[in-house]
Structure 1
Amino acid sequence: MNAPLTHHSPRPERHPGLLPPGRIALVTGASRGLGRAVAHRLRTDGCHVYLNYAHDDAAAADAVEAAAGLPGSTTPVKGDIRSADFLEGLLDRIRDDHGQLDILVHNAATMHPMLPVAPEVAPLFDEIALALNPLLHGAATVAKLMPEGGRVVAVSGNGAFEVIPHYLATGVAKAALENLVRYLAVDLAPFGITVNAVSTHLLDKGEHTSNPAIAGLLASRTPNGRLTRPEDVADVIALLCAPEAAWIQGQVVVADGGLGLRA
């Protein structure tokens, strides 16, 4: 009988090759955190990754350097993914460079803390725009640019269905994003493209965790005793991008280590 895992247990060895090599991927919000982990994971399977980021040149350069030596390649692309003009230009560039886009992972997000009794309209709509615009503006182009077997994965969070203090704007934006995923899944299915979302909880940021007390509480409530790591979620996203995931369509897959099972 195997010994139970603990939060000190190392991650199992990953076996490259989940995805066919040479796929072209675009990951938004990819210079740090979960987006960086996704870009790194796709590189492991030999993807050419367009690493989109908004501001932090140093973080983007570090993400590219960290992936050096992996199969695949990375092209950093700086720009505001909310902008329809920027997005169309980026998709045109990908078409010119490679002729197609196989994987789109929409991770870019921001957070403006606010309460329902004192909402700030401008930041609220800023978050909604960042959550929805890339998929709304890009859907028609993606339908033409992606071959059969294309994959679109959006990143959501538990705030889409749970009330979290100060999380109004992000929760509303993520709830709208999950609904958009369902509509796009139906519209893009005839093209052989799947559209899904992955939802997670507070991620383990190590020494950069902003609230260690909350992090410790959530870790203790997770069945295997630790917070979800960015790499855990990146692996689930890679699974949804695999050819074998072709019959998963319009779903929100929860990757929280079972935290949401606790009453």
Structure 2
Amino acid sequence: MSTAEESGPLSGKVALVTGGSRGIGKAVALELAGRGADIAFNYFRSHEAAAATEQEIRALGVECLRVRAHLGDPEKIGELFTRVTESFGRLDILVNNAASGVQRTLEELEEKHWDWTMAVNAKAPWLCAKEAVKLMEGGGHIVNITSEGSRTVLPYYFSVGTSKAALEAVTRYMAVELAPRGIVVNAVSGGYVETDALAHFPNRDEMLESGRRSPAGRLVTSADIARVVAFLCTDDASMIRGQVVVVDGGATLGPPG
């Protein structure tokens, strides 16, 4: 990854990455920062991880704002965007990465688990986009992070998979409704990525082994996904609209020959 001073396709841009303190969100924040964008990100649990991420971003020569905010609470979303407005006064890129969920089967899942997952994974990206539009006066880019569980039925993924399917529908509607404002909207769907989130799945080892058997011969990394997200935030991708770009090493094509 290059520093902001050496390359600047996103220099002068401001990006908000939700859930940007670790995992895929952190990789995206660092990739955008490395291309010159000032970064804002929210986190919910670990102050230490968030502070460390902020330091890494600032070391790339850009500004960084970190805000503790649980995106399942619409009031906290409002507070997050107030902080972004106060710090930067504008927004060019929104990456809806923050996600949550309960790994249970249909019968084991409780109503509160469903509501929690939908609030963070589908409702929050919509609310964040509504706020982001107010700050994207000259147009911008929105990228939603989804997963292959939206189309492929995975064990223990009932609530998350359905919420990601909803997010992909949100992506398509956003792409059409926000196009007149000069806002480009897409989604990126990653394969199995070895992050802390995967540790909560009872079948974690099986999932990782499946990812390693992809035609690419290795697991997808957070950096792989981050580079595609960054591309979708450039003018070169301006004619890609409302699409779900799959980054899985070919895993969903079937077993390698």
TM-score by length of 2: 0.89
CA contact (8 A) 2:2 2:35 kept: no
2:122 to 101, 113, 132: 132
1:195 to 181, 185, 202: 185
How far residue 258 of structure 1 moved from its aligned partner, in angstroms, is: 1.2
CA contact (8 A) 2:150 2:162 kept: yes
For 1:87 and 1:205, the matched residues in 2 are separated by 25
CA contact (8 A) 2:211 2:220 kept: no
**Aligned Cα RMSD in Å?**
2.0
Residue 217 of structure 1 aligns with an amino acid whose one-letter code is: S
CA contact (8 A) 1:43 1:49 kept: yes
For 1:213 and 1:172, the matched residues in 2 are separated by 21
How far residue 255 of structure 1 moved from its aligned partner, in angstroms, is: 0.8
1:253 aligns with 2:223: no
CA contact (8 A) 2:101 2:116 kept: no
2:176 to 183, 186, 196: 186
Give the paired residue count.
Answer: 249
Where structure 1 has 5 or more consecutive residues not aligned to the other structure, the ranges are: 1-12
Quote the residue 1:35 is aligned against.
25
For 2:139 and 2:234, the matched residues in 1 are separated by 9
For 2:254 and 2:2, the matched residues in 1 are separated by 28
1:23 aligns with 2:13: yes
CA contact (8 A) 2:171 2:187 kept: yes
For the residue of structure 2 that corresponds to 1:67, the secondary structure is helix
Quote the residue 2:236 is aligned against.
244
How far residue 18 of structure 1 moved from its aligned partner, in angstroms, is: 6.2
How far residue 139 of structure 1 moved from its aligned partner, in angstroms, is: 3.4
For the residue of structure 2 that corresponds to 1:199, the secondary structure is strand
Quote the residue 2:226 is aligned against.
234
Quote the residue 2:214 is aligned against.
222
1:151 aligns with 2:141: yes
CA contact (8 A) 1:18 1:238 kept: no
How far residue 213 of structure 1 moved from its aligned partner, in angstroms, is: 4.5
How far residue 25 of structure 1 moved from its aligned partner, in angstroms, is: 0.8
How far residue 205 of structure 1 moved from its aligned partner, in angstroms, is: 4.0
Higher deviation after alignment, 120-129 or 82-91: 82-91
Quote the residue 1:6 is aligned against.
none
Quote the residue 2:105 is aligned against.
115
Residue 218 of structure 1 aligns with an amino acid whose one-letter code is: G
For 1:44 and 1:139, the matched residues in 2 are separated by 24
C-alpha change, 1:213 and 1:18, in structure 2 (3 Å) is farther
Quote the residue 2:55 is aligned against.
65
Residue 198 of structure 1 aligns with an amino acid whose one-letter code is: V
Q: List per-residue Cα deviations over 1:133-156 (Å, max 9, x = no partner).
A: 223223333222113340111100
Residue 189 of structure 2 aligns with an amino acid whose one-letter code is: S
CA contact (8 A) 1:36 1:63 kept: yes
2:36 to 42, 46, 56: 46
For 1:116 and 1:251, the matched residues in 2 are separated by 28
C-alpha change, 1:55 and 1:160, in structure 2 (3 Å) is same
1:55 to 18, 22, 45: 45
What pairs up with 1:167-182 in 2 under 5 angstroms?
Answer: 167-182=157-172
Identity across the alignment (%): 35
How far residue 243 of structure 1 moved from its aligned partner, in angstroms, is: 1.4
